[in-house]
Structures are given as C-alpha cells and as structure tokens.
Amino acid sequence: MGCPALSGTEDSGPIDAADPLSHLSSWDSDWSGLRVVVAGIGKTGFSIADTLIELGARVVVVAAAEDAEAQQAADTLRIVGAIEVLLGEQVSQQLPEVEGQRAQLVVTSPGLRPSHPLLSEAANAGIPVWGDIELAWRVRERAGRKTADWITITGTNGKTTTTTMVESMLQAAGLRAIAVGNIGTPILDAIREPEGYDAFAVELSSFQLHWTYSVSPVSSVCLNLAEDHVDWHGSFAAYAADKAKVYQNTQRACIYNAEQLETEHMVEEAEVIEGCRAVAFTTGMPAISMLGIVEGLLVDRAFIAERRDSAAELAQLADIGELVPRHQVANALAAAALVRAYGVAASAVRDGLRNYDNGAHRIQPVAQRDGVLWVNDSKATNPHAAAASLAAFNPVIWIAGGDAKGTSYDELVKQHSARLKTVILLGEDSSALRAALARHAPNVPVIEPDSGETGMVQQLAAVDNAQPIFPGPVLMARAVRAAAGVIADGDTVLLAPAAASIDQFSSYAQRGEAFIAAVTELLEGQATTRTSGTEGQ
C-alpha cells in the first residue's frame, strides 16, 4: 500500500450504523436526558460519571466499594448532579433503573469482567455497554476546542514504556501531547482540558479494548502477545481478540512486531481506513517498510521516500538509556514507528529518547557493588515481561512469585533455566512456579523466605476495619538478605516477579519500593560494618 499524506484531515472512521446511539458522536451531540448507568467509582469511574453529568445525561452510579474514598467520590458526584449513587457489594450486582426507567447505556470501568452480573444483565437486555475509551472517542470533538489525534498502544508488555516514549517524542516535536488511557491522566479529563491537545498517546489495556467499537487512531500497535489475564477474558483466544481491536479503523499505519507473527496476523485481519499501511519493527536489520537496528543505530526504512535502498538514522542505542535490554530497544522502535507515521521528524525521535525518563520499577538499576548488579523490574507482572528481563542478564539470582493470575511458568523456566543461579520465591502460593522450576530447572537452588509472621500481620488488618497491612515488605527484606548470602562477582540480583503483586503488596510499585529499601538497607549495613571493622584495626 502507498503511504498516505502525513498532514490534513483524516477520515475519523465509521460508527456502526446499527448502533442505536450512533448519533452520539461528538461533545455537541444531544446527550441531554440520556439514561446512563456508570459501573465503578474509582479514578476512571469518577471521570466517566463526571463527564456524562457535564454532558447533561441522567446518571446513576453503582460501585461495590464502600470505603472512605468511595464515599467522598459519591458525595462529590451527588453535588454535581448524579441522580443516584449506590455503593456496596450487593447493590452493585444488579442493573438499577434510572428515574424509574430502564437505562439506555451502561459505561463501565475497565476492571469489571464481561461476566459481571450487572454487565451481563445489560447485554441480555440489549443495552449498549461502553468503556471510558469509547465514551472519550465519542466526545473528543467539541466546537471551539482543539481535537487531539490519537495514537494507540497495547501489548502484553511494554505498553507504559512505549506510550510514554511516544509522549516524549511528540513533545520533542513541539506538539502539545499527553499520555492517557491506562496510564496517568484519565482520558476524559484530558479531553475536557480547556486548552486542548494536539495528540494523545493512548495506552490501552485488553480490558479497555474489550469495550471499544469506533475508535479510529492515526497509528496503532500491538507490541507483543503472551498469555495474561486469562481469568478476566475467559480464554487466551478471547484475550488475543480484544488486543487485536487496537488496529481497527487505523488511519495511517498499523505497527506490528516482526519478531512475533501473531501481531502481523492481527494487522492482516484488521478492518482499517483505506490507504493505511502495515509497518514492522525489528531489533535486527530492517527490510523495506520496517524500522530496526543497524550498527548500533535505530533506523527507519518505512517513512522515507528512498526506503528501497537506504535508511534514515533516528537515534543511537545509547540515547535510550544506561541499561538497554532487547525489549527496551523494541519499545523504542515501536514508539518511533508510531510517531513517524504521524509525521514527526527523525530529530524529535532522538530528542524524545534522550529526554525520556524510564521511571521506577522497569529494569531499574538499584545498586552495583562488588561486581553485583541489583535490578528492580517489579513491573514485570507476568511471565512474558519477566522473560524479557531475564534475557538481559546472566547469571541471575531471580526473586520471583506472587499472584499468577492463572498463567503457566513452564515456557519461561525452560527458556531461561541456564542463566538461573538461584531462585528466591515470594508469594502466598508459589506452587505453579515451584513446580515449573522442579520440572525444567531441577538443579537450580530454590529459597523460600520464612513467612511465619505474615498470617499475623494480615489478621491485624481485619481488626476494626483497619487499612490492610501488607506482609510483602517483610518478606522482601528476607529475600534480599537471602540473595546476599549467595551472590558473587558478576551476578545480577533481579526482581522480576512474573506475577501480580496483590497477594502481598498494595501494588507493583510498593513491591519495587520494598526491594529498593531492602537493598539500600543491606548495602548501607555492609558499609557500616566495613567502616567499623577498619576503625577497630
């Protein structure tokens, strides 16, 4: 396919003619009186309800949460015009009426499964169910305000990194751009920002994609695909199908991973806007219509006129950062392809990477002493993400474990068993990972820090409805001490849990911070001991 012009107004993509709410396609459409149930009252749910109220819809909010934060959000929504706010597990299980009549629309927060009783009841009654992303697309155009172009990003891993890289590159190009969606600012809050934006870098989870129908991005990517969230989607096939929705109605370029055929097949099956191109990225030498690596340079053979026999230099590998594992290179190339499709100059790709802050908990070097590197990748919440981390280091003392979310560890352990020196297991139930290690790495020592105190700690949270006290930080300190007992010059101690954190930590961020704190305490203690010993001599 030929490359379309990289400027001018694009076709915004069709809205299904069979959609009973197809007339609601801009902020200025007539939303007044529309009866809507909003499911959820967290950060996203609140932004959904607040937006709909501002549009003039008749809104009832339903949420299982009853804590102080939910109560405060409910009070605010009542003040700004919600018809009713219903909190509690029991009331959240059924679809309420809106002023005595059946709802015309349900807009759900991303976390609720399609099988949730309220959403199932809506589907069975023929009531459309949207997510926050679908609502945001419908209201993005507003008279007198700038309408942002959308660049959409999904994948099992690397979404946040790639999205924020896109944001940095767009900003380096002088554009008013922001990362939204499954990251940072709720997209509906960004849309309502008075000054408006030139472009949105939109991170999309599989949950959000499940409830989208009419989004039409300028460029889009599914970075990779591996087993994850099977418990939410019901099957890997359903998960993959929702991920593939990122490509629907793409205007200029569908970006895919040349090293993972599943993403190419998604592009082949996608219904896109006429003239949209398929462009690949690879961490190897790029062919025509690809971005890739040549002699330590990120290069473009897709968005240049001379792509048949030359490539445009975009950046150096060193521009990405201090530690540049292969998957980080892939993320940078995907981001570059997305913004090049949008028309961003090569210099802005380079400057965006130089300005980019990778943030905490993603292949984050914590310390290096006596030839040992300590690395925090708490963001590696599934086996695919952990595999990318493990591939970057050798030998590895691997701290892993947590809520497995129904995934298998066999392929992960089989692939990386040769680089494992010791494995230290965390988590209330590490049986799946332990079994995979026994099958595929039987000679690798496995250490499980004593968790004798954790039950007591958890029980304290049940007294007088106190805030939960998570046992993870205590176990993390023990895990770090256990790692210190087996390290040698040349080792990497890697926290890459390959699991969610919710069994023992409040979030992956708390898990990463616990690792950093434990490493800092360990090394400071060693330094103090050495100093004291020297003074004693």
Residue positions forming the annotated binding site for ATP: 155-161
Q: Output the six-digit token pair for 406.
A: 């129904």
DSSP string for 338-363: HHHHHT--HHHHHHHHHH----TTSS
Q: Please count the CA atoms within 13 angstroms of the CA of 70 that sit on its side-chain side.
A: 17
**Reduced 3-state DSSP string for 222-251:** ECCCCCCCHHHHCCHHHHHHHHHHHHCCCC
CA distance 472 to 508: 11
DSSP state of 166: H
The torsion of the CA quartet 19, 25, 30, 32, rounded to 10 degrees, works out to 80
CA distance 424 to 451: 13
Q: Output the six-digit token pair for 15.
A: 């809205």
Angle at CA 394, nearest 5°, toward 385 and 350? Answer: 60
Residue 279's φ and ψ, nearest 5 degrees, are -130, 130
CA end-to-end span of the chain: 76
Known binding-site residue numbers: 155-161
Q: Output the six-digit token pair for 136.
A: 């945001």
DSSP string for 174-237: T--EEEEESSSB-HHHHHT-TT--SEEEEE--HHHHHT--S---SEEEE----S--HHHHSSHH
CA distance 197 to 216: 17
How many CB atoms are closer than 10 A to CB 406? 12
CA distance 401 to 382: 10
